[in-house]
Structure 1
């Protein structure tokens, strides 16, 4: 991708992707506290790590948007460790 800014419709779509990915991250993190199977818990932890990386990448692209809305922190408070 070049250094040009994003078009308004691209910015809105990117914002929607950020919202969706943040919601998925929160759901995976929340569900980890309800799961007792260790393999499933490990898979969910992997999803949390990959989602965190994806959100960081999307935020870097979002910085090129001509208008921005604040992005909430992507670290939900853990319920159980």
Structure 2
């Protein structure tokens, strides 16, 4: 089974770079990419990660108080669906 694509989007490039650093220090592999046009954000960047890293990504985001995180999963037909993460 093919794994789904996940991304996290932050409020700014600075916050995205801060998050990337925190994730890598936490042992989570992420990759910087261009934010999909269908996702609304002031930042043009997003971080992609594997589905099995979602819990770690959420935990680090909360622990580091990273601002404006929006989590998305690529669904059917390539459309991005916002994940409801408290």
Tell whether the structures are fold-level matches, with TM greater than 0.5: no
Higher RCO structure, 1 or 2 (CA under 8 Å, sep 6+):
1
Question: Hey, which of these two has a bigger chunk of helix by percent?
Answer: 1
TM-score of Structure 1 vs Structure 2, range by shorter chain: 0.3 to 0.5
Question: Hey, which of these two has a bigger chunk of strand by percent?
Answer: 2
